[in-house]
Structure 1
Amino acid sequence: MRNIMQKTLIWDLPTRLFHWLLVVSLLAQYATAEWLDNAIQWHFYIGYFTLFLVVFRIMWGVAGTQYAKFSSFVTGPGRVINYLKTLFDRDSAPSVGHNPLGGWFVIVMLVLVAIQAISGLFMTDDIFLDGPYRQLAGDETLELMNTLHHLAFDLLLYVIALHIGAIMFYSVYKRQKLVPAMIHGNKVSKTVGIAHSRLLRAIIVAVIAALAVYLAIEVYPPAPQVDEYYY
């Protein structure tokens, strides 16, 4: 039987929502830190939401649909090298999910966002607001977390720039449109796609991820110390 090129569902709805919510979250984090005055409280809240997104994506990378799983796109160096050999071949067949190189970019992005979100739990605005774990850490740890928070952000800017450049490269040079597929989820392929997005499973994973972040932020950290003044 001959394989026929047809539109098939590759990216499930939870993966697409994660992608675009992460984009919005990172933009909002930058805006509340760099552009807006008196928005640091929102910076903290958005950081907690970003941490939820990372936890959800890690869990979904294990329990999600076929092309959302890490096992489908995290490959060894051999496959990455072989893919790089065809990178500038304009007629090379497009990958169904993430290509071997792009798969590792996903991991790098998740690690950097996770580092920034976790280190943010130790941050302070030096006036009113402290991260929930600031009081648990000594000066050396706080200095390390502050360094990691800003370093991860700077590296994220480079990774995001590379990501945007890669999208343009694939769109113009290789004639492979990546953005529309991340909107509607479909790709033209001979490969059989996924049947559905497993929304009930995604909701369960999201609830577990949200509960984990809530416990980490609201339950486990010690109550802030309040200075007592005697008159």
Structure 2
Amino acid sequence: MSVCAILFDLDGTLTDPKLGITRCIQYALVELGYPPPEAEELLWCIGPPIQESFSQLLQTSDHGVLKEAIALYRRRYSTIGLWENTLYPQITETVKEIRVAGYKTFVATSKPHIYAKQIIEYFGLLSLFDGVYGSELDGTRVVKGELIHYILVTENLLSADVVMVGDRKHDMIGAKLHNITAIGVTYGYGTEEELKTHGADKIAHSPEEIPGLVVV
């Protein structure tokens, strides 16, 4: 195995965005006239593309309705929600250890990259990543498989040289689409069963376990 680059998901892998994401979803639903579920009932929304989550919450595929819901979500998220976020313990040390071992590191998130970069900067992690990749505000590259393809092409990486680390099935599916080794983390918002069902090759139960699974 000639791994040289590690892709990290953001929400549920590097940071815990529970407070910000759930509050912004609740805000959008209230503004649309819907009773908002409790935060604990919205944890499944952490990880998937936000349009996908609103489609299920509102039981609609109507583009206009979803566009309005996302706009309301972003109204609060861009000014308040993205800061209602915490760094998982030992993440800084974990990424540093991987970089010291000679690996390149990238953020690969379905979240718009303009928000992702602000979050990475806020936590003082920007110098620990060779690039921060995410979707565009219009939904381009919101699907993890498309995002990973974009990173591979942009960074001139071979699938065999890359490992994807993430906490939800979307990370595993995206990785397997490109025959990339996938490490699922269970301290985020996906279960071990979800991760293994969708192709996780290895499982990390804490950030400290990740270097041992990727550094060879």
State if a TM-score over 0.5 links the two structures: no
Higher RCO (CA 8 Å, separation ≥ 6 residues):
1
TM-score (norm 2): 0.33
Query: If each structure's strand is expressed as a fraction of its own residues, which one has the higher value?
Result: 2
Higher Cα Rg, which structure: 1
TM-score (norm 1): 0.32
Query: If each structure's helix is expressed as a fraction of its own residues, which one has the higher value?
Result: 1
